[in-house]
Amino acid sequence: MRIGAHVREDIDPLASAEKCGAEVVQFFLADPQGWKKPPAHPMAEQLRAAASAGDATLFVHSPYVVNLASTNNRIRIPSRKLVTQHAEAAATVGAAGLIVHGGHVTAGEDPAVGVQNWQKFFARQADEGGFAVPILIENTAGGDNAMARRFDALARLWDAVGEFDAGFCLDTCHAFAGGENLVDVVDRAKAITGRIDLVHLNNSRDEFNSARDRHANIDSGTIDPDQLVAVCAAAGAPVVVETPAEGQASDIAFLRERLG
């Protein structure tokens, strides 16, 4: 099992990964709060070489502003464009996938429309040859009309996009804050998606079902660290900690010791 971290230094992700002992490296290719097309990465050649040699497994996280479920054309259409652009840019650095949050519709809107918007995007892209890298849909922590907070909603989304070979990223903090029991979360997720491609292994600063997405280091949150280890072991997928940077090296070392 490969273990790593989301690194904050996007210019030289490999150097940041080395500092915290990460074998899996996740990073942004552009401002996570912005709508601009990602520029060519200055270390694309080195990143591709590291991925090709097996020295690092790379993942790119899409900007937080992306909402493919939105009924607002001014959000949904730019979101589609941004995901396509980031997938293309992720391919240039040798990334194994692009993580995209499930998104949501607003209060009073029908979540089924958000599901349809996801399905239309995947179907259109399939007609155009697919995405440059796999799209890994990540479960989220809050929002009553979210596509991937509750697992019943995730099941409806997967019924719409699963045929297009979508991937799945399981975030432990998000699941816990979203009201999903971590004891059997892997089995339930796999029953819906058939796969877990990546685990975001984060503790939570808040209580169960808080709907708040505030990550904590493994030994300092409200989730039992033993339960987090059990999720990793059951998932059998690469692991990325998105925990506070000052504790990431310790988080990675803890997981390596416990998981072998």
Rg (CA), the chain: 17
User: Residue for token digits 């803890």?
Assistant: 254
d(CA 228, CA 249): 16
d(CA 41, CA 87): 13
Q: What is the pLDDT of residue 161?
A: 97
Q: What is the pLDDT of residue 10?
A: 72
Verdict on whether the full-model pTM lies above 0.95: yes
Q: What is the DSSP letter of 224?
A: -
Give all strands (DSSP E) within 157-197, no chain letters.
167-171
Q: What is the DSSP letter of 30?
A: S
CB 145 within 8 Å of CB 155:
no
Would you kindly state where each structural domain of the chain is located, as residue ranges? 24-259
Residue 247 tokens read as 């504790």
Q: What is the pLDDT of residue 9?
A: 74
Question: For 158-196, what is each residue's pLDDT tens digit?
Answer: 999 999 989 999 999 999 999 999 999 999 999 999 999
Q: What is the pLDDT of residue 240?
A: 98
Amino acid at 30: A
Counting as low any pLDDT under 50, the low residues of the chain are none
d(CA 62, CA 44): 17
* CATH architecture of structural domain 24-259: Alpha-Beta Barrel (3.20)
CB 89 within 8 Å of CB 38:
yes
